[in-house]
């Protein structure tokens, strides 16, 4: 029996691969002989259906430091500047940045994101002023509004009673949160919100209303809640037709609430 050296063996292997003897075919997965899914575009387990894009997930925040955003997110505030924001009164945003946090400057007015979004996932973190001042709606009050009009309430609700549909994580004036998951004043809190924008018919009537699912500090407090319309104070909301995308608004309600680690992921439906 003859013995071949390493070089000879390597030469034989290269030749076999080149000739296709050892060539590996592309792995096969999925099926084409299965029922068609609704819409008539893809089969169940369709081998031709595009695979989800690969992203890098973000990291979790701690009380001492914010986490990072997913790689496909639009970062609206990373602790450095206000370049992604403008004033609702026109011109540059006039809130303050202190120790990596975006701080409401009372009386400066609301700020709007320069980017606009439709269906999206929003993450933001906020901390109520410490020591706490005021009570009811006058304590750590702000809000985040999709399209500049659909409000999720921001409020210090740690040992602070207020009306249910004005509570922290309420869809303001419409749906109280399922539970009060508020942390103490001064501690960082998180909102993770899945927002589905409303759709309108050509005549301006609502085809499908907006919906929101909210996690407050990791706790589900709104579960695909249907919005009755835009924010309204002491009134019933009423939808008015608008475009498919709009800005994120942070409200100035006169309290120096802090924000950090704000990012948005547009949700595209394939």
For 97: left if phi > 0, alpha if psi spans -120 to 50, otherwise beta; the answer is: beta
What is the number of H-type helices and E-type strands within the chain? 1, 15
User: pLDDT digit string (tens) for 31-47?
Assistant: 999 999 999 999 999 99
Stretch 172-178: mean pLDDT: 98
Q: What is the mean pLDDT of the chain?
A: 92
Portion of the chain with pLDDT greater than 90, in percent: 88
Average pLDDT over residues 118-126: 98
Check residue 17 and give its pLDDT.
Answer: 46
> What pLDDT, on the 0 to 100 scale, is given for residue 133?
95
How many other β-carbons are positioned within 10 Å of the β-carbon of residue 78? 16
Q: Is the dihedral of CA 76, 82, 84, 90 positive or negative?
A: positive
pLDDT for residue 28: 79
Q: Enumerate the CATH 2.60.120.560 domain ranges in the chain, comma separated.
A: 58-266
Topology (CATH level 3) of domain 58-266: Jelly Rolls (2.60.120)
Residue 22 clears pLDDT 90, i.e. is over it:
no
pTM greater than 0.85: yes
Candidates 75, 107, 105, 108; CA nearest to 91 is: 108
pLDDT, mean of residues 143-153: 98
Alpha carbons 69 and 117: distance in angstroms, whole number: 17
Q: Which residue has the tokens 């009423």?
A: 238
At 4, is the pLDDT very low, low, confident or very high (cuts 50, 70, 90)?
A: low
Tens of pLDDT, residues 53-66: 999 999 999 999 99
The strand pairing partners of 258, in sequence order, are 103, 127
Task: Tell me the per-residue pLDDT of 65-94, one tens digit each, with 9 for 90 and over.
Answer: 999 999 999 999 999 999 999 999 999 999
| Token digits of residue 221 | 């407090």
Q: Helix, strand, or coil here: 27?
A: coil
Rounded average pLDDT over 99-112: 97
Q: How confident is the model at residue 26 (pLDDT cuts 50, 70, 90)?
A: low
């Amino acid at each position: 029996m003859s013995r071949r050296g390493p070089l000879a063996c390597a030469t034989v292997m290269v030749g076999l691969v080149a000739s296709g003897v050892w060539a590996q075919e592309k792995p096969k997965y999925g099926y084409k002989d299965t029922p068609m899914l609704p819409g008539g575009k893809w089969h169940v387990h369709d081998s031709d259906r595009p695979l989800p894009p690969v992203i890098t997930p973000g990291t979790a925040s701690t009380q001492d430091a914010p986490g990072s955003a997913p790689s496909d997110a639009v970062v609206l505030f990373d602790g450095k500047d206000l370049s992604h924001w403008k004033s609702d009164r026109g011109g540059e945003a006039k809130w303050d940045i202190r120790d990596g946090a975006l701080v409401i400057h009372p009386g400066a007015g609301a700020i709007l994101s320069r980017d606009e979004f439709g269906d999206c996932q929003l993450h933001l973190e906020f901390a109520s002023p410490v020591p706490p001042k005021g009570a009811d709606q006058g304590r750590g009050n702000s809000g985040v509004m999709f399209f500049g009009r659909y409000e999720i309430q921001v409020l210090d609700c740690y040992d602070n009673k207020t009306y249910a549909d004005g509570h922290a994580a309420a869809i303001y004036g419409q749906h109280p949160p399922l539970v009060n998951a508020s942390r103490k004043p001064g501690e960082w809190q998180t909102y993770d919100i899945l927002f589905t924008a409303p759709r309108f018919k050509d005549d301006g009537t609502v085809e499908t209303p907006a919906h929101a699912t909210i996690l407050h500090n990791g706790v589900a407090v709104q579960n695909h809640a249907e919005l009755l319309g835009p924010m309204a104070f002491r009134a019933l909301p009423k939808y008015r037709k608008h475009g498919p995308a709009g800005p994120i608004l942070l409200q100035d309600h006169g309290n120096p609430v802090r924000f950090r680690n704000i990012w948005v992921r547009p949700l595209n439906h394939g």
